[in-house]
């Protein structure tokens, strides 16, 4: 059962990336459109902050399943990979006439990643956020047993 969880954690980033790719190929109102267009736009624009923050967090959880030591440089590389995927997604969206692509969208992607990076880096390497750090280290220990 644990091996299933291990591989699910390792495959989850790729599944999530595919979901982002597919959703960014569709019109923004494909799934939901709220009656208030300004609220609808605000919520959908704020999703940039959330979706790539989640991607980075999933990257961290996936890499913590490995046997190698989780270093600060690896953490930075994961944040950069999530940001690079955000850039790739913005370029991808630019090819669809019903989607928008902008540097501000990329900024929101990177800002979401940076917020989660701050907490992960603080928890694992600077002794801040001990509950989060404990949870992440317990995840790593559990996956290596």
In Å, how far from its chain's centre is CA 46?
Answer: 14
Q: Is the pTM of this model over 0.85?
A: yes
92, HSE (Cβ side, Cα atoms, 13 Å): 15
Task: Give the range of the structural domain holding residue 94, as residue numbers without chain letter.
Answer: 2-6+43-144
Q: How far apart are CA 143 and CA 9, in angstroms?
A: 10
- Which residues, in sequence order, are CB contacts of 130 under 8 Å at separation 6+? 123
- Number of structural domains, the chain? 1
- Which residues, in sequence order, are CB contacts of 34 under 8 Å at separation 6+? 40, 43
Residue 15 lies in a domain: no
Residue 21 lies in a domain: no
33 touches 40 (CB < 8 A):
yes
Residue 11 lies in a domain: no
12-58: pLDDT as tens digits: 999 999 999 998 887 655 555 556 676 666 676 778 789 999 999 99
């Amino acid at each position: 059962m644990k091996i299933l969880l291990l591989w699910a954690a390792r495959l989850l980033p790729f599944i999530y990336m595919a979901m982002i790719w597919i959703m960014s190929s569709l019109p923004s109102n494909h799934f939901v459109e709220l009656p208030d267009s300004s609220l609808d736009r605000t919520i959908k624009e704020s999703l940039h902050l959330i979706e790539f923050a989640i991607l980075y967090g999933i990257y961290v959880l996936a890499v913590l399943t490995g046997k190698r030591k989780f270093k600060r440089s690896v953490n930075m590389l994961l944040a950069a990979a999530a940001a690079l995927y955000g850039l790739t997604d913005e370029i991808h969206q630019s090819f669809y006439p019903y989607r928008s692509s902008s540097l501000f969208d990329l900024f929101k992607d990177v800002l979401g990643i940076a917020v989660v990076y701050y907490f992960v880096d603080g928890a694992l390497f600077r002794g801040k956020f001990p509950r989060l750090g404990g949870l992440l280290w317990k995840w790593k220990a559990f996956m290596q047993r």
